[in-house]
Amino acid sequence: MLSNPLPFMTAAFYKFVDLPDFADRREKLLALCEYHNVKGLIILAQEGINSTIAGPKESVMAILNHLIAMPELSDLQYKVSWSAKQPFYRMKVRLKKEIVTLGLPGVSPTHGAGTYVSAEKWNDLLKDPDLVLIDTRNDYEVELGTFQGAIDPKVKRFSDLPKWLDAQEALNSRTGKKPKVAMFCTGGIRCEKSTALMRAKGFEDVYHLEGGILKYLEKIQPKDSLWQGECFVFDERVSVGHGLMAGEHELCRCCRDPLPQGAKASPQFEFGVSCPRCFERTTEDQKARARERHKQALLAKARGEVHFGMKKFPKQV
């Protein structure tokens, strides 16, 4: 039985499965989450479901049990962590073309993903000297931590990965045979889709970390770990370490990327307005609106209320 002294349970899950009626499921699922006071984000698409939700244990389990009762999701796996406060401010159920955007129609993990490697066997795989190990996450995520020996593509978004892969000499055929490739990401969804892409490109020996970095940090003790740093997560915890305990990193309240080292000492940092990552990407009008948002958030906090504020500024302007 799941239990923890901390009051809020976070469940992260996804599944690639054909959901032709995904749009019809949105309203009922949103209403159920709101009824149980569960917050977070659920993405529905024809190719499946992708989500992180949080709330009291009984509430989150009610949603999970509802999903698992569906025949298509009966084997749904989820990862659990705990926090002292609710890591999300609201509940959203969004309809999208893909549950994780690669931008290449026809690339489907349900028809050819790589081989799963469990967290317990991941270290053994990484000992192979001929292995090409690729971190499929965005640059600001990799900055917080990654596996020893991993290649950082330095991409701004997941949809940039295919172009990067095409340009890599390390992935060229060796003596007529394509190299062995292993990929990993936060929870498993991006590397599952990227290994499907590699298989479509003719790579045969392709592997990915089952359950992602989060499962590895949950299962592997620090003394046995090949992980270095912390893992960025897309909620108010910002990052987690081994045992999925919340890390030390903070978010920029404008772009909502993790603050770079030394960011608060930069003249480009203004709490709630900008950081060195996003200062050049936002206009003066956006900065003015961010200052007003921050002001309203402080006033709401003084009244004991939650202020949702404006949407996150775009990555590019």
Q: Report, as residue numbers or ranges, the catalytic residues.
A: 185
Task: Please list, in sequence order, all residues whose beta carbon lies within 8 angstroms of the beta carbon of residue 257, skipping any fewer than 6 positions away.
Answer: 140, 251, 275, 277, 278
What amino acid is encoded at 136 in this protein? T
Determine the Cα–Cα distance for residues 298 and 285; give it in Å rounded to an integer.
20
Residue 278: DSSP 8-state? T
Q: Residue 243: what are its φ and ψ, rounded to 5°?
A: 75, 5
* Relative orientation angle of helices 212-219 and 119-126, to the nearest 10 degrees: 100
Task: Please list, in sequence order, all residues whose beta carbon lies within 8 angstroms of the beta carbon of residue 70, skipping any fewer than 6 positions away.
Answer: none
Exposure class string for 251-265: b at 16+ Cβ within 10 A, else e? bbbbbebbbbeebee
Take residue 9 and report the two structure tokens written for it. Answer: 């349970």
3-state secondary structure of 10: strand
Number of other residues whose CB lies within 10 A of the CB of residue 207: 23
The burial of 85, by beta-carbon neighbours within 10 Å (0-12 exposed, 13-18 middle, 19 or more buried), is given as exposed
* Relative orientation angle of helices 26-35 and 57-68, to the nearest 10 degrees: 160
